[in-house]
Structures are given as structure tokens and as C-alpha cells.
Amino acid sequence: MNEILLLKLGEIILKGLNRRSFEQKLVGNVRRRLLGLGNFRVTCMQSTIYVEPQDETADMEAAFVAVQDIFGIVKISRAASCEKDRDAIVRLASEYLRDDLLRAKSFKVESKRSDKHFPMTSIQLSQYVGGELAERFPNCEVDVHHPELVVNIEVRDIAAYVHAAPVDGAGGMPVGSNGIAVSLLSGGIDSPVSTYMIARRGVRLIPVHFFSFPYTSQAAKEKVIELGRILTSYCGGMTLEVVPFTHIQEEIRDKCPEEYFTLIMRRFMMRIAERIALYNGGKAIVTGENLGQVASQTMEAMASTQAVISLPVLQPLVGMDKEEIVRMARKIGTFDTSILPYEDCCTVFTPRHPKTHPKLREVEQAESVLAVDALVDEAFENREQIRL
């Protein structure tokens, strides 16, 4: 029996003349995800990616799990193939879905015929296969309205395929199809979720973490590295840029008014993130900011931090509430790591009474005592790169 994975494309199918480039990007992502899982042939036809094992080294169980996290795919089916003959299809369905048909109390057959040369219509094929299966499995009655089991048949150009219910894919767009951006990655709950959400729109991401040793520990850094590793399941391989931030924060503490500490710190983060983005061909900066969640996330505060850069800032969480963000963090597997009790640089030198509605000219005046360009240069040149 020839088992195969059928990966159904999502919104790529709505693309026009450039659709092929999106399909090629997605095929490449699937091939990379299957590396180390055996020998597979990956092809794309008729809005479906076919993943075919080529020999006994191919681990179908692991492949089925791995492709569920690939952006650009909406449905995934484990299927078996046969020649395009109605009786061959009946035999295949009887064998491949035997256990399902024995367990179920009711079923129906749904057929799709993309090969219009096949001599039966979709309805005729469903009726024929359904009648034959009903005779072979009398325990399982036909119910076209509320079946316990749906037997899916697809007659395509190369072969006919039989499968049961598909599982949901990750949706979105293929990573790499919508350019490159830098994502600010702290050790908290929000930033891994925002990274995931922008990657889901097809953006290849460069995570940036600001590290303030000895005020933040090596364990805190390892926590962020682990978050990055978890995200690679969705984002693909990434290079984490760890930026030394201690000197900048000490300069802010020593020379600036306390109520502006956080705002000035975030302005430095944005400058350095933009520098890294431009160096790598990035077109935007991604943050986990959420309107009104903390003092630095009022509209005035966000405007003052973004005023120092020219690249657009993408804020996918800006209108979500905390419960929604936590649910998403649990779903993608980052929550348990995010809540480990290690500090990050945003908790260093936190002002007792932070400015929540700052005027830009006041922030600029408070910051003017610092050697901004030199501090940014120093942090950029001394950053550490960690391949995930």
C-alpha cells in the first residue's frame, strides 16, 4: 500500500501570476522540515503538496507531526494511493480505512474529481464506493447528514487517493514569502507570541534579545535561547542576536531623570533593532507591545519610542487582552518557558513613577545628555549571534 501525505494549500491559492513563487517557497520549507526524517519526494500540483516516502528510511509518523507546524498549509491528510479505477478505489478504502470502518457506527463518502477524464462524476463515485463499503461493513450504516466517519476520495491527475478526516495545518503564509524583519524577543509571554504571529504572515525573522549581565543572569539568557528554539518549529532556523545592554542602562541610570528611564531604554532598543534589521535586509521591527498593558505602552509612550526609527513597527498583539495572549502562548508551546522566574533587562532600574503620557520634546531633552550614536555603535559591534 502506497501511503502519502497530502498537504492542502491555504490562501496561496488566491494569488495571481506570482502564485508559483509562493508555492516554491512552501515546497522548500517542507523539504527543509523533513530533513533528517528520511527520504521523501515533495512536489506541488493542483493546490496540494504531495509528500511521498521513497524508501524504508522515511518516518511517516514523524513527518506527519512535523508538517503540522509549517505555515502556508491548512489541511493535512495521511492518504493511500491507487490506480484511477472505481473497484481499485473500493479495495483501497476497505483496506486502508478498515479499522475506522469497523469502529464507526455511520459513514459517508465524499469524492472530489479534479481529473475530468475520469468516467464517473464525483456524486456517482461516492454512491458507488458508499454502496460497496456498506455491503462489506454492515456494522457501519450510511448517514450522509451526520456521519461518524467521512471517507474522502480524491481523483487527481496521477492517481486516486483515499483518506479519512484531515487535521488542521498551521495556516498563514510560507515563511520567507513576505520578507525579513527583526523581532524583539524578551523572556516574557508576549514577545514569543508576536514573533509567531508575524512569522505566520510569511515573514522570516531575526530575533533580538537585550542582555544586561550581571543584572540579568545567564539562566535568563538561556531561557530566551530556549524560547527561540521552540519558535523554530514554526519560524524555521533563525539567528538570535544577543545585544549587550548593561552599559546603555547604566548610562541612562546615571545621567537621565528617573521617570524617563524606561522610555529612553526602549528608544535605544529600537535604534539598535533598526540597525540590525538594515544590516540584514530587514524591512520592519516586530514588538510584543499591547496597548495600555504597562506604562511604556500608552499611545504617547509608543510614539516616543518609535520616533527614533524610520522602519515600520509591527505590533500584532496591540489589541489583544492578556487572556488571549496566554492562550496563544500555551497553544504554541512557549508559555511554560516564558513564566520561568528569571529577570530580563526591562526589569532593571525600573522607575518608581514612570512617565505614562510623555511629550516627545521632553524625552528628547532628557536623552540629550547621552552619547547616543557611540552607545548604539558599541552595542551593535559587540552583539553575540546564536544559530537556532
pLDDT digits (tens, 9 = 90+) for 158-216: 899 999 989 999 999 999 999 999 999 999 999 999 999 999 999 999 999 999 999 88
Domain with residue 115: its CATH number is 3.30.2130.30
What pLDDT sits at residue 342? 81
Q: Are residues 203 and 258 both part of a single domain?
A: yes
Residues 98, 27 share a domain: yes
* Number of domains observed in the structure of the chain: 2
Same domain? For 84 and 216 the reply is no
268 plus 122 within the same structural domain: no
The answer to whether residue 173 sits within a structural domain is: no
Any domain includes 221: yes
Query: Is 174 inside a domain boundary?
Result: no
One domain, residues 202 and 270? yes
256: which residues sit within 8 A by CB, 6+ positions away? 264, 366, 367, 369, 370
Q: Which residues contact 324 (CB under 8 A, 6 or more apart)?
A: none
Percent of the chain scoring above 90 in pLDDT:
88
Last residue of a domain, one of 168, 188, 210: 168
Could you give the 3-state DSSP secondary structure of residue 371? Answer: coil
Report pLDDT for 346: 73
253 plus 158 within the same structural domain: no
Nearest residue to 200 via CA among 171, 241, 220, 222: 171
Domain boundary among 143, 168, 193: 168
Domain for residue 146, yes or no?
A: yes
Q: Which whole-number Å values give the CA distances from 211 to 233, 248, 261, 343, in the listed order?
A: 24, 11, 16, 10
> Residues 286, 292, 296, 300: what is their CA dihedral angle, to the nearest 10 degrees?
90
Same domain? For 268 and 356 the reply is yes
Residue that is last in its domain, among 168, 189, 214: 168
* Per-residue pLDDT band at 1 (split at 50, 70, 90): low
Rg of the chain over all Cα atoms, to the nearest angstrom? 26
Question: In this model, does residue 237 exceed pLDDT 90?
Answer: yes
Residue 361: count other Cβ atoms within 10 Å of its Cβ: 9
Is the same domain home to 20 and 90?
A: yes
**pTM more than 0.85:** yes
- Is there a single domain that holds both residue 214 and residue 355? yes
Question: Residue 25 corresponds to which cell in the numbers above?
Answer: 517557497
Range of the domain at 259: 180-387
Q: Span 302-326, mean pLDDT?
A: 96
**Dihedral angle computed from the Cα positions of residues 69, 72, 73 and 74, in that order, rounded to the nearest 10 degrees:** 110
175 found inside a domain: no
